[in-house]
Chains A and B, each alone.
Chain A
Amino acid sequence: MPKRKVAALEKVDADLVSLQYKIRRDPKSYAQEFYDQWLAYDAQRQIFISSPSSASSEDNKKFHDLVDLVAHVADLYPDVTAPYFDHLKELLTQHHAVLNPDLREKVVGSLSLLRRKDVIDSTSLLTTLFPILISTPSKSLRSLLYTKIVSDLRESNSKATNHKLNRTIQTVLHNLVTSDRTSTKGMWACRITRELWRRQIWTDARPCDVMKEACLSDNEKVVVGGVRFFLGGDKEREEMEDDSSDEEIDIKKVKHQGTINKKTKKRQKAMEKAMEKIKKQERKKHAPHPLNFSALHLIHDPQGFAEQLFQKHLQNTKCKFSLDNKLLVLQLVTRLVGLHKLTIISLYPWFTKYLTPKQPSVTSFLASLAQATHNHVPPDAIEPLVVKIANEFVSEASAAEVASAGINSIREVALRQPLCMSETLLQDLVMYQKSKDKGVVMAAKGLQSLYREVYPELLQKKFRGKEATMGLKSGEVKRLKFGEEQVESGIEGIELLEKYKEEQKLKKLAEKGEDADGDAKMKDDDDDEDGFNSDEWEVASNDSDSSTGWINVEHSDDEDEGPAAKKQRRDSSTAPDLISDEAMAAAAEANRISKLAMTTILTPADLAKLAELRREAQLDKMTGTVSKRRQELIAKHIEDGVTADDIELPAQIGKKSTKEERVAMAKDGKPAREEHKSTQAIRKSKKEAEGKSSTNKEKARKKNFLMTVGKARAKHKRSLVDTKKRLTAHIARSKSGGRRRNGM
């Protein structure tokens, strides 16, 4: 009998990984083997539990491997492994502090593996992991648990929102924050909520409620976590969304590679995957944008919240937060006040103390003050603050930056509440446009142009400007009163749309007229047809009727009579417009305008045009050329917060940039140059990195000299006849497509 040669096989059998593989291939046949290992696992577990802290490394390793094996095949033998989850749970909750780090990681991983295999549900997994996350002193375990928890929440919300689970976890987090307000444990609630908010998994009011409670905590860290969420959570969410759509696949490249490369199953799969991804992206692009409210809008009872926040962390003299954190809280409070137009009167006197140039990061305070101002704040509350800013910051003696920051902050406040200013103060401030420093001049001019627009009466006559003076004379500019709201009747700017439509029509008609004169009659018909159609598409349906009012052409007539009828209609609509008086009666005008909204349905295109026209009109109102900064200011929504940068901006004007800044600016957008290399070389390496091939010319240039030298020599020695033959053959070849064939 030959010698048995299965020793190698047996050796292979003796490791758990291959056993796992076999079990998964054929669970029924390997039940016995699994049961053996299950018993071994059980024995090992008991050894471990009998002395968890002093387990030897050997035991740890064995136990680690067995836990791994059982976790991977637990779904195949549900009856045997029924107590497995409880074992792991007990092990982790009782001994997580003394467990060997590797083993601990394996246990956590096995738990989430069980979840992925659907052996346990999310709730039981999360309720196991969460208490440990809060209580464990180990940093690595915390980060592991955190990622597992977040990924599980993501996973279970991936197909459809799992409301039940979300509610459970949100309640747990809420309780965590509210149960012990002095501990740092609330940080975890903040972190988890923020992460899930960023990923748009939680978008409703409940997570906002958790964060609200975090803001009202006693612990500085937790408060900062909550406040930062409200100040930056939404922006983070938007950025995340932009990022995710960034990674695009070059479909052209993928297709091209498919034609060139060898066709293997793997490549084909990769290609299919890429196509699928592209399709998904397309679908995503066309899908309606998810309507997500910002966290600030979802807060329940903003007035109460802002008041509490202010009283607890700012007004309270016992509160010992650092200045930076206090500023963050202040930003949130003022943001809420500005956004929801809340009234917290005690907030404004509180500011007084901080409005001096020597106060650290005073620009943030100024920005917050501007943020906290809105048109419902009584001018009496703000006026002393404005006066204080003017006194402290704006004087000939103070530095240019200080003065410009002061004036600019006053402008920001006045933008929101123009009544905060007395006439003399404004005159004084406006006079600073005669200053030497450019920043101060710009700030003062900004203030002046603001008041020209909103409250010109307060300015001296010589500063009012043409528009404002004329407006005052004609009574178009009305006197401001506190508490007065401008109520729009009808659609704002509808008259602009009306005017635009008329102009368009006139233009079109003029074009058509020219066409009709120049072209033959046959063509004219077609043109008319086209013109009619495009008319219908671009502007609302029955335009001619609404503009003229008294000519009524029925559609049935239209169809019967054909071109003749159209001709007539065109004439009738043109005539009154051309003749129409420029100064029409105001009453008639109003009548006509109101009709547009009533008689036609405005299409989305119309509405977009309306918004555009409104913006243009606003721009046109300003005299002269409109600066870029001015445009930005108009575009900026008044609800957006004010930052310290906004206040500091004018001081930057006219300053020279340093060399580093200029170098950085010049380098921006140019290829990175780690080493000394020519531009050509950089381009070439970039091309190579992208996987593009070289040209024939490049290949010829690179070819080894010895490979070409023989041919070159032979060419040299050819006879004349031979040379001629070659040349003619070359010409013939290039004529027939440039390729060599047999015999050519």
Chain B
Amino acid sequence: MGSSNKKKKEKKKDFNKAKLKVGKAKAKAANFTDTSFKSKSIVVNQHTLAALDGVDLVGLFKQHLNQAINSKSDKLRQEALVQLTKDLSSKPIFNPVGVPNLLTKLLPLITDSVANVRTNFLKLLRALPPSDVAPHVEKILMYIRGGMTHLSTEIRSDTLSVLDWLIDVCPDETVSCPGGWLKTMNSFSSMLGWNPSVASTLSVKGWTSATKTSLNKVSKKNGEAQAKQITTLAKFLEAGFRPETPLPYDEQRYWDSIYRMPTTPNPFAYLNLWGAQRDEDGEMYPDRISRQQVFERKWRAAIKTGVMGAKQEGGVIGRAASVLDKVLRTAEEGGKKVVEEQKIEEVEEAEA
């Protein structure tokens, strides 16, 4: 009988008058909505409500651009990047915002936490026309340097791929822009653990020292990563030490360079008229000789010892190291030649 009693009571309850008690809060109504909560963020399921039929292409491009950076979902970012790449690689190139804007917005993606996004970003970069990239090399290099010493090894190696691309696209600008030579060398050496400055700052004295610690333990994966690092370094050095081929004399160009408006942005960058004062690391090294001199002075010894060690390890690393060694050697010979030529010139001048 209990259940029927209960049901009866429940039926009755609706028609009973609510008793108010002193000191007790009034009972909440059945349709009461609690609005006292607070929320820091609101989750939105859909990102766009408007159905886009491809009418506003510019708007669509911009939307993709925004999604690529701001979207929380990695899938969405990735897809947006794919779309952008498609637009950029179409013929004629569809890029309503221009390369500078595109780069400033997208460059932070170099250190994105999701691997797919990074690879898609690299694809996007490859789709950019090389001539448009050249003025922004300095900026791209900043981000690359930030990524090269990132905590995560995956990001480091992906950043190296970006650097590879950059060296392929515009090798001269990469090594000659402000900070491009020495600062990048810094990052490389730190990445490989061949850094003399760290050891000196620590001033570890004694007959033992831990070689490479903790994060990058030697494993198969890491070995490959290191091999890649060494290869990229070799590529970078090769670009830096590549003998400049003097341009054949062209009268038109000669007079243009004197009297015409320059066509490249910031043609007097080496004078550093408006920027902050640069230190040795941040300085530009525009020609091969200066690059070589600085390298001899600061890095030759450290890199050489590093290469020796790497060579002894053998395997992938050893092979990569021997490539690097070759680059170094040719550079040395080239350097000697340069020095000899200089000496001869000086002597000639002195004689004259």
Binding site for B on A (CB under 8 A): 4, 10, 13-16, 19, 22, 28-33, 35-37, 39-40, 42-44, 46-47, 49-51, 54, 56, 58-59, 62, 77, 79-80, 675-677
Contact = CB atoms under 8 A, between A and B. Distances in A.
Contact of B149 (A14, A39, A59): A39
B172 to A, nearest CB: 21
B307 to A, nearest CB: 18
A33 B179 contact: no
Given A10-B153, A29-B214, A43-B145, 8 more contacts: A13-B215, A14-B151, A19-B151, A33-B213, A39-B190, A42-B183, A44-B146, A47-B146
Nearest to B156: A36
B52 interface: no
Contact of B195 (A32, A47, A58): A32
B337 interface: no
B108 A77 contact: no
Pairs A-B, 4 closest by C-beta atoms: A676-B23, A36-B149, A43-B146, A58-B108
B61 interface: no
Contact of A31 (B22, B145, B149, B202): B202
A3 to B, nearest CB: 13
B326 interface: no
A687 to B, nearest CB: 21
A56 B108 contact: yes
Contacts of B153: 10
Contacts of B187: 39, 43
A66 to B, nearest CB: 9
B23 A43 contact: no
A62 B142 contact: no
Nearest to A46: B142
A32 B152 contact: no
Contacts of A28: 202, 204
Interface string B85-125: 00000000000000000001100100100000000000000
Contacts of A36: 149, 151, 190-191
A167 to B, nearest CB: 34
B156 to A, nearest CB: 9
Contacts of A37: 149, 151
A77 B197 CA distance: 12
B229 to A, nearest CB: 13
Given A29-B214, A43-B142, A79-B201, A13 B151 contact: yes
B201 A31 contact: yes
Nearest to B186: A39
Interface residues of B, number: 39
A675 B22 CA distance: 9
Between A15, A37, A42, A677, the greatest number of chain B beta carbons within 10 A of the residue's beta carbon is seen for: A42
A30 B213 contact: yes
A43 B193 contact: no
Given A49-B276, A58-B108, A35 B195 contact: yes
Contacts of A51: 104
Contacts of B193: 32
A676 to B, nearest CB: 4
A39 B183 CA distance: 9
A76 to B, nearest CB: 10
Nearest to A58: B108
A80 B23 CA distance: 67
B151 A16 contact: yes
Contacts of A10: 152-153
B214 A33 contact: yes
Contacts of B219: 4
B198 interface: yes
B146 A40 contact: yes
A46 B179 contact: yes
Contacts of A675: 23
B23 A32 contact: no
A56 B276 CA distance: 22
A56 B112 CA distance: 13
B142 A32 contact: no
Interface in B302-351: none
Contact of B151 (A15, A77, A80): A15
